[in-house]
Structure formats: C-alpha cells, structure tokens
Structure 1
Amino acid sequence: MNAADLPITPRALAHVFGEPVHAFPHDLYIPPEALQVLLTEFEGPLDLLLYLIRKQNIDILNIPMSQVTTQYMAYVEAMEACHIELAAEYLLMAAMLIEIKSRLLVPKPSVEIDFDADIEDPRAELMRRLLEYEQMKLAAQALDALPQAERDFSWVCVAFEPEHIELLPDVNLVDLKLAWLGLLARNRQIQHHVVASEQLSVRAQMAHILRVIANGRYYELNELFDMQQGVPLLVVTFIAILELVKERLISVTQYAVLTPVYVQLIAAKSSEA
C-alpha cells in the first residue's frame, strides 16, 4: 500500500476534555471585551514612569515632562478603556505630572536674574523619588535572583541512627588538687599521733601501686592510699602516682566533673582497645 492510499485524518482545531474538535460550533460567540491582553504589568505609577523613561533611554535627571506626561496619560486612558480599575495612586501621579508640566510651561517673569540663588526645578522631587525607587527595585531583583528554598531547590532530610560515643572528661590539675585535699581532710579525722622514724621510697611505692592495679581494672584513687599509715605515706603515694602518670604507666580519668578519680594500668587499657 502506498502512502497516497492512506486515509487523511483532518487536523483537530482544539481538544476539549481530551476529545478532538475539528470544526467550530455554529453557536460559538466570544464577546470582544472577553479577549484582553495586558502586555506589561506595573507595580505602581513610579514603576510605569521608570519603564517609560528607561525604554526611551531618557536621562532621569533631565526628564522631558511633555513627552513623558503624554505617554503616561495614554497608558492611563488605555487602562480605563479596558475597564480596568485604576488605583488612586495612578490618578494622583497623573495630576502631579500635569502640575509639573504646567509649571514648566508657565513663562517666567522677566526680572533680574540672581545667579547666586538656587532655582528650584519642579521636577526635582519626582526625580528623587524615581532614583530611590529604581535603587529599591534593583535591590529587590538582586535578592530575588538569590537561590530560594522550594523555588530553586528543595530541602533533603536524611534520617540516620546517630552513634553515641561517650567522651570522658580529662583530669586536670584542679581535679587532682581537689582529690588530694579530700584525702588530707579524711586523714585528719582518723590520724593517730604516732612518732616513728621510717624510710619511705617513692620507687618502692610506685612498684606497689603497679602490683595493686596489675589486673587491669579501674581503681578509685582513694583505694590506693592507706589512711592508717599517716600523712608521710600519703605524700609518698601521691608523688608515686604523679611519677607513674608522668612516665605514662597509668592513666587517670573520671566520668564527670567533680566525680571520683579512677586509675588504670595503661598496658591493660591498650589490650582492651
């Protein structure tokens, strides 16, 4: 079968509810006022004036009021002819333009000119308002050009199970000082006034502490002190603990601020990790 033998399907003029329409209805009537096209929308009279000035490359500091007023009034009359309700500010701006135009057309009296005096331009206030409006409009356009959520991009929420890692606070000198003062205070309550000469060795006490904590568990700092032996042994034991910390043989930690201080053998801590 040749392509010329295929039936020719007429092209649909429109589709109504998904059904093609190949011919205009005989009773179709569209009133003229129902078809209106507004080519340009303005946000106010200043926006319309700025559009007329920039479209014709007019210097905003030297506005030809007659030309601009004529174009502005033509737009207002066109809007009224289309039965579009105008805001009062459009009519107020029209009255202002007509006033400025009339003031410029009024002949000036022939008097002696004082060149030192400032001559007020009737367009000065209008030019100031136009410049301020243009600056605000450009700033608004710059802000609108920035990416906006739900317009230029969408937020993405990712649900995941957080991992809680307990970080133990470091033990500083203040914590050790408080622990030491607490030990001294407890020792004063139970100390015995015994006068005796004894030889105390820091190294021997260091070895004793290492033997006590050799099983690798945490020991509270108070457990390493023998309160019954007096203050000299307490001092030697405390110095021995400081030396062990300095030589990185033991570690001291606490679970929260102002809580008991614990001691553990570093070798045992590394094997646990």
Structure 2
Amino acid sequence: MERLTFKLPVFEGPLDLLLHLISKHKLDICDIPIAELLEQYMAYLDEASRMDMEFTSAFLEMASRLVQMKSAMLLPKQEKDPREELVTALLAYQTCKTLAALLAVRRQEHFVRAPQPLPRAQTYRLRHRPAELAEAFVLARGKAKAKQPPTADTFSGVVVRAAASVTTRVLHVMRRLARGGGQRFRTVFADVSSRSEAVATFLAVLELVRAGRVQATAEGDDEILLLRRGTVKWE
C-alpha cells in the first residue's frame, strides 16, 4: 500500500477521511484490511499535526477505535466481526455523500432566489429568567471549548503506542521456561503493561503449545495451569 502524498485536503470528519483512503487505495469497503488502513490514517494525522492543521477530537477517537479493531483482529475467530460497525457507518456515510452530490447538481439546474435581508430589530422585547441566561452561557462556553483543536497530550497513548509483537512475546515465554521447572500460566503475564501485550502474550502461548514446544497441564486440587518445556527440541 503506497504512502500518502501530502498536499493535505481538508476532510469533514473521520469517516470522510476513511472513505478517501479506501477509494485512493482501492480497498474493499466490506472487507477492510484494518492494519493497512490504520497506517495510512495515522500518517495523515501525523502530517496534519506537523502542519498545524485543526481537526476535532473525533479524529482521535476514530484512531483509538481502529487500534482497538486491529488488536481484536489478532484474537481467534469471533462470532461478530470487529469491523462490522465501522463498515455499516462507512456505507451509510457514502450513501449520504452520493445523495448530497446529486442534490447539489439538481440545485444548480433550478433557480434559487438568494436569501432576502430582514430588517434588524432594534429592541429585544423578550424577558428571561436569570437561570435561563446562566444555562445559555454554560452551553455556549461548552460549544466553544469543543471547537478548540486538541492538545499534544491528547495524542499520547493513541497515536504513538505501537501494537505488541507476537514474536517478541514468544521469545519472552521461552526465556521464562528456559530456567527449568514449571511456570504458572499467569506468571508469563507479570510484565504486561497494555491490552495489546496481553493479547500478544496469549497468542504466543497458544502458538508454542500448538508447536509442541510448551506443555500446559492442570495440577493440584485447584487445577492450577502450569507451563513446561515441551517434547519438541528448542532451537
């Protein structure tokens, strides 16, 4: 998947950006390769932040959702596709854009009178209770804050953090078991600091058991799950 060439367009929202990336790289909207799409999405946000472009927190929320979907795709087969909700939203947004473009064309085909100026009222005759004025002020102040661009701290933990590698966690588990004896299953998660690392560690244990390099047995009255070196020779 080629990288974006940055003469950055301005998008109305994260769905608009995702549709642009899907169209640009000819991706199947019903079977989205989340890892590739996430890479392009993060590249846009990174470049936009360097160019001091303003974009709302909705873009950061979508980045977080894509990272979560990528982690979920590493898990064994699930009943519900983690991408289903995103695909539904994209298809609906794509339909709205198509209809909006059609309406714009039809609007140009018909005469539309320009808005007529109204005389400005010189006297405001309505009366309001103090509580209503206070509520209106709080509401207006909240909307003003929502329009402010996100700070650099907003990106931490969403844009910078990389997904853990299953290969790295395989080496971690093998090193723990190389000391000899059995290791409790939960001990291989002792140094896990994120959900991505926990998923990668679990997949690493499954892969080692499947390959015969690790044996998993339940022992004791409490049937505690222990991991030991398997019968297949370690390289």
TM-score normalised according to structure 2 size: 0.43
TM-score normalised according to structure 1 size: 0.37
